[in-house]
Chains A and B, each alone.
Chain A
Amino acid sequence: MIIEYVGVKEINGSLVVIDGVKGVSYEEIVDIKLDNGTSRQGRVVQIEGDRIVVQVFEGTRDISLDNTTTRLTGHPMEMPLSPEIVGRILDGAGRPIDGLGDIYPVKKRDVNGTAINPVSRIYPRNYINTGISSIDTLSTLIRGQKLPIFSGSGMKHNELAVQIVRQAKITGADESNFGVVFAAMGVKNDVADYFKKSFEEAGVMQHVTMFLNLSNDPIIERTLTPRCALTVAEYLAFELNMHILVIMTDMTSYAEALREFSSSKGEIPGRKGYPGYLYSDLASMYERAGMIKGSTGSLTQIPILTMPNDDITHPVPDLTGYITEGQIVLDRGLQNQGIYPPVNVLPSLSRLMKDGIGEGFTRSDHPALSNQLFASYAKVIDARSLASVIGEEELSDTDKKYIEFGRQFESTFINQGFNEDRDIGQSLDLGWKLLSTLPRSELDRVDDELLDKYYGK
């Protein structure tokens, strides 16, 4: 027997409180019917005796204390899954919006997922060739990794993401095996269009599943979007053995939605008003990347987030950086100099790279070369700050060489065309060519054997 509960007790932001509810379970989904015939979904977020607090995904507009009937569905939020989901466009809560009809589910999964047993993980080692020098050489992307792009408003993170999707070559995987799950959270309509168009132009649209929660869509739905997307991605990767790249943009909007929800629930805020559990919450999504035993697929994440005021210590990038396996940081200064992609290599990092490069993966000189490039470029920054005080003329000869090296490095190595696809050999050779402009004695991270082989060649 299905009981319907008439009316609500309280309405506060996106939350409604209902009294006298029996047999409800935590995180259960409820259907709320309005008098005008429309219906909404909500999720039970707190239970106290027979009083429950429900978060309404589409917002509480038009809801009054007595114009609703609420029905329990008996299960938590589930995502219908089927191989046919590839190529579809869905809204933020996983409902099709491309006019191609409903998804006939083969199975349904709880969108919250469950934690991967650390014992069952395969340590990711295979690199993904993105054809972008600054990433391949210095912050190599590994299959099964979560590598976010830290950006700011107005910077070219979307272009970079598109270029990665277009150029990403996964060694040993055929094309039909590769898929993209795209989750847009609070992005502008134009941005969503840009991605759609770019995927179509690159001819990958039939491999893309899109989840769109645009900036004018309900905010609370935004907290569901990445979870729905990752549930689909896990299904494709771990059950259908596909190599899935998940792009989530913009994580900052997601976190803001979470903050809004948290404050309307009256929770004690942590830093900058974000809830204290923001770390756990972000981790519950980022940690869904990886590879597991018993499946040949992989789930790689590229979350994109805009740092408010370009501040890397803001809670969202800060906590993200603590969970993800490195980060690619974009820099406004470089962008203003017309350098694309404006990757600031020093704070950028790939934690999994050390085991996925070198002999047998890329090239044996890769680890030493990338170390040396980092060290030398760090000295460029020192030399520049000195030059800004005493003027470039007054620098020592070595420092002048560093300044010149820095200029070349930025304009030829980091800078590359939107359609330029460099293979790893090209990128590494370019790195050596640049290092050769510095005195050999300055290259203290490389041993003599490699120097003999590559220096000045």
Chain B
Amino acid sequence: MANVIYGINGPVVIVKNATEFSMMEMVYVGKQRLVGEIIGITSEFTTIQCYEETTGLKPGDPVEGTHTQMTLMLGPGILDNIFDGIERPLAEIEKEVGAFINRGSQVSSLDTEREWDVTVTVKVGDELKGGEVFATCPETQIITHKMMVPPLLSGKVVEVKPNGCYKLNDVIVKLEDRYGTIHELTLVQRWPIRTPRPVAQRLTPTVPLITGQRVIDTLFPISKGGTAAIPGGFGTGKTMTQHQLAKWCDADIIVYVGCGERGNEMSQVLQEFSELIDPKSGRPLTDRTTLIANTSNMPVAAREASIYTGITLAEYYRDMGYDVAIMADSTSRWAEALREISGRLEEMPAEEGFPAYLPSRLSEFYERAGRADVLSGSQGSVTIIGAVSPQGSDFSEPVTQNTKRFTRCFWALDKSLAYARHYPAINWMDSYSEYFTDLDPYYDEHYGREFIEYRNSISALLQEENRLMEIVKLIGSDVLPDDQKLIIEIAKIIRVGFLQQNAFHKDDTYVPLEKQKRMMEVILHLYEQAKTVVARNIPIKRIIEAGLFEKVTRIKYDIPNDNLGMFDEYIADIDEKIRNIVS
């Protein structure tokens, strides 16, 4: 007996008396064959969440099983492309149906007609294990795509095609497993989105993800394979920070997931990334980027899936040995999608209506980050940077609190900083990074022991300023002794001249670590020198009048990234002016 729809409530569809479905199986619902997933089974009812609008579905419409989980098509053509939450290519859909997305689109995720220039790297007789590379092809001008044996397969190569141009579904290699079954390997493989792809061994994340953003690289660094949360109310610059990281961080591949966010933002990413040139490769950023766009008005169940789609794509490229960073903007929308579907299923709600399994889902997601020896024999990493949009800007709400438990960097965006247009509005008192100990040896080796010392001094000064500001708020800054006034002045330089960074300035938008270090050096040098002035009871006003504070504040604009020698002039200038004041 064919399975038919019994009930409909929003994205939730019920089938009665079905027996052959399994949990998380992908199904086609109704005459338009809308994509759905089985999320609940009882002896009487089978529950489906439908990834498309259910308007117009009728009881009695057919429901068809696929006997597989919700899987992704993985192969060349993922980069420089934009997909919806369940990996349907939006550009192809546009060609097919125009500017408004229709339902029941059956477009293949990747272009099956396009030819790829494939180099086969194995020969007949080779023993291949799961995850090993059997062919490569240039996917974009900077990224080589490696075709890997599906992780759960292994065997002996019995047939290979010569190098040449092939389409996605052409068989390149035939593999005989130990039971004598022949498996045909094409340029694509499929993988279920909710299952992490296996690795050989997980590694400690000891290499930083360098972002060129001073407040992150210096004060709250993240490592390749790490996890970070960016919580912030609306208008605090979550998306802007994500964009900056996606543009400048030194990962090989960027997966950008727009999860329940604005359509105009996605079109901005599309436009900006195709125009922006990656300084390292000289190619547009889109060459290393794939976008998943499930805007807030697209179906809510696909929004829930989009996060998994993103992380699965990221893992696939990690398995090739790349460092991948995934930006999820925003994980709160994903949590809300969970809540919405949970509500439709009439599950017992936990905190604020969120389902009780919210923490376990969040931890499952963030645990898919990491640096590892991958099955193809090299090393790769997946770094997750998730934006969180707390309800009412209140960090005590469940999504922020639970995310905090499973991420090791916390970049708290602050409303009052954003109001003063201090961007990135990362609050240095509330934020933290747990990667210091893992990363210190790397900084030590590449940038010298001083880097860490400077960072500690800078952070101590900011702490001290924070304490002093409590007093200033009560009685004004005039009553403070000069040595404390000096701390306030220096902290101001750190805030305005160092932590605040202008994303629209050609030099300031990305600052190499070496310059970050020299900037700290100059600021701290000024502090040390100024302390000698104050120690002689010379009024701090004299230093202000000499214009030193102002000058050092503007270093970020005045010293170009490619002329770091200028820092020596600054140090000499500070020394001379201070000498003049003292003498």
B392 touches A325 (CB 8 A): no
**Of A9-17, A32-40, A180-188, A347-355, which binds chain B?**
A347-355
In this assembly, does A104 line the interface, its C-beta being within 8 Å of a C-beta of chain B? no
Chain B residues with Cβ below 8 Å from A280 are 260, 296-297, 300, 336-337, 340
B419 adjacent to chain A (CB < 8 Å): yes
Also in contact, A287 and B296, with CB within 8 A (given A25-B57, A26-B56, A48-B7): yes
B82's partner among A46, A118, A277 (CB-CB below 8 A) is A118
Point out the residues of chain B lying under 8 angstroms from A378, CB to CB.
Answer: 416, 419-421
Interface bin, chain A: 35 or more
Kindly state whether residue B59 has any CB partner on chain A within 8 Å.
yes
Instruction: Kindly state the separation between the CA atoms of A26 and B293 in the bound complex, as whole angstroms.
Output: 26
- Those of B202-248 within 8 Å (CB) of chain A: 233-235
Using C-beta atoms within 8 Å of the partner chain, give the interface range for chain B: 35 or more
In the complex the two chains form, is B56's CB within 8 Å of A269's CB?
no
Q: Any chain A CB within 8 A of the CB of B55? A: yes
Q: Given A280-B300, A287-B295, A394–B6 Cβ distance below 8 Å?
A: no
Contacts of A327 in B (CB 8 A): 234-235
A144 in contact (CB, < 8 A): yes
Q: Given the known A-B contacts A118-B82, A123-B264, A313-B394, are A268 and B98 also in contact in the complex, defined by CB atoms under 8 Å?
A: no
Please, what's the 1-or-0 string for B439-474, where 1 marks a CB less than 8 Å from any CB in chain A? 000000000000000000000000000000000111
Instruction: Assess whether B59 is in contact with A115, with CB atoms less than 8 Å apart.
Output: no
CA distance A280 to B11 in the complex (A): 12
**A323-B476 contact in complex given A313-B393, A374-B420, C-beta closer than 8 Å:** no
A144 touches B264 (CB 8 A): yes
A121 touches B336 (CB 8 A): no
Which residues of A in the span 433-457 have a Cβ within 8 Å of any Cβ on B? 441, 444-445, 447
What number of A-B contacts does a CB cutoff of 8 Å give? 224
Question: Is A360's beta carbon under 8 Å from chain B?
Answer: no
B271, closest chain A residue (CB): A123
Judged by a CB distance under 8 angstroms, whether B389 is at the interface is yes
Contact B8 A47, beta carbon cutoff 8 Å = yes
B101 CB-CB contact with A under 8 Å: yes
A395's nearest neighbour on chain B, judged by CB, is: B476
Known A24-B59, A26-B54; judge A119-B353 contact (CB<8 A).
no
Chain A CB within 10 Å — which of B8, B82, B103, B346 has the most?
A: B8
| Shortest distance between the CB of A422 and any CB in chain B (Å) | 22
Given contacts A110-B55, A326-B235, contact A117 B6 (CB under 8 A): no
Closest 8 CB pairs of A and B: A283-B296, A313-B392, A378-B420, A287-B297, A120-B99, A321-B234, A118-B266, A48-B7
Q: Residues on A close to B: CB < 8 A?
A: 23-28, 46-50, 76, 110, 112-124, 144-145, 238, 267-271, 275-277, 279-280, 283-284, 286-288, 290, 292-295, 313-315, 318, 321-323, 325-327, 346-347, 349, 351-352, 354-355, 367, 371, 374-375, 378-379, 385-386, 389-390, 394-396, 399, 441, 444-445, 447
Using CB atoms and an 8 Å cutoff, list the residues of chain B in contact with chain A. 6-10, 14, 16, 53-60, 82, 90-91, 93-94, 98-103, 233-235, 258, 260, 262-264, 266-268, 270-271, 293, 295-298, 300, 333, 336-337, 339-340, 342-343, 346, 349, 352-353, 389, 391-394, 415-416, 419-422, 472-478, 496, 504, 550, 553-554, 557
